[in-house]
Amino acid sequence: MFTPSDDFLARSAAAAFAPLPQKPTEAQACAAMDQVFALAEQSWQARRSSLDYLRSAPASACRAGCGWCCHQQVGITSLEAIRIAAHLRDLAPETAAELVENLRRVNSQTQGLSTGQRAQSRLACAFLSIDGNCRIYPVRPLRCRGLHSIDANFCAASHQDPAGMRIKLEAGQLRPVYLSVPESIFDSALSGVLMALKKLKMTLVSLELHAAVSALVDDPKQARRWMAGARPDRALALVPDKR
């Protein structure tokens, strides 16, 4: 389960949902999610262009077309899943059909896998294009937005040998290469979404991207049920590694 924190961006993100009725429509929930995405992106853009940040933080190695990090489990909230499913419906029919086919294929290959097993599968996200770009970029999950690396070679090696890299990280032979500032900004926005979910009496369970969006594509009425407080099926939840 995600754990909410409390700070200004989190409270601003939660405030995007404040005008919504207790049982919002899908369109209202999606519009509020778009506000959260915009708030968090503005926060990150302002921070990354500040002199302080430019002087002290290492440069991001992330570039368009580099999708090494898009081969692993992604945890999302029910509201993010609802936003992505609505986005798929708004796409041109051929594009939507292709993405839904990818989604169902990857979901059938990955559903039920733990974090480590999913990384070990080395399967690309259903929304990653062959040239390495996100095909749902405007509505991509908050967790994807917060992941910025300072070393693309580390990301490539983590994709080639996820278990080996994990052992080295746990043994202290390697250090993580992800920037903490974007991670904490997008995690704050995520906390705001969690506060809103709590207020709307929706589940706080972390869902697996492919499983949750596939479920909504297969049965769009589930979005209404989730927003009315129904808990998504257990099979859609993120599967952590056993320790």
Identity at 22, one-letter amino acid code: Q
Of 127, 154, 186, 226, the residue at the interface with ligand SF4 (CB under 6 A) is: 127
Of residues 147, 131, 139, the one with CA closest to residue 60: 147
In the bound state with ligand SF4, the residue whose beta carbon lies nearer, of 32 and 147, is 147
Please state the closest distance from residue 74 (CB atom) to ligand SF4, in A: 5
Please state the closest distance from residue 202 (CB atom) to ligand SF4, in A: 21
Of 134, 197, 200, 202, the residue at the interface with ligand SF4 (CB under 6 A) is: 134
Q: Residue 44, interface with ligand SF4 (CB under 6 A)?
A: no
CB under 6 A: which stretch of 6-14, 42-50, 137-145, 188-196 binds ligand SF4? 137-145
CB under 6 A: which stretch of 124-132, 174-182, 225-233, 235-243 binds ligand SF4? 124-132
Q: Residue 125, interface with ligand SF4 (CB under 6 A)?
A: yes
Q: How many residues bind ligand SF4 (CB under 6 A)?
A: 10
Q: Residue 70, interface with ligand SF4 (CB under 6 A)?
A: yes
In the bound state with ligand SF4, the residue whose beta carbon lies nearer, of 195 and 209, is 209
- Contact between residue 181 and residue 149 where contact means Cβ atoms under 8 Å apart: no
Of 144, 193, 196, 213, the residue at the interface with ligand SF4 (CB under 6 A) is: 144
Q: Residue 74, interface with ligand SF4 (CB under 6 A)?
A: yes
Of 10, 40, 128, 190, the residue at the interface with ligand SF4 (CB under 6 A) is: 128
Q: Contact positions toward ligand SF4, by CB under 6 A?
A: 70, 74, 125, 127-128, 134, 136, 140-141, 144
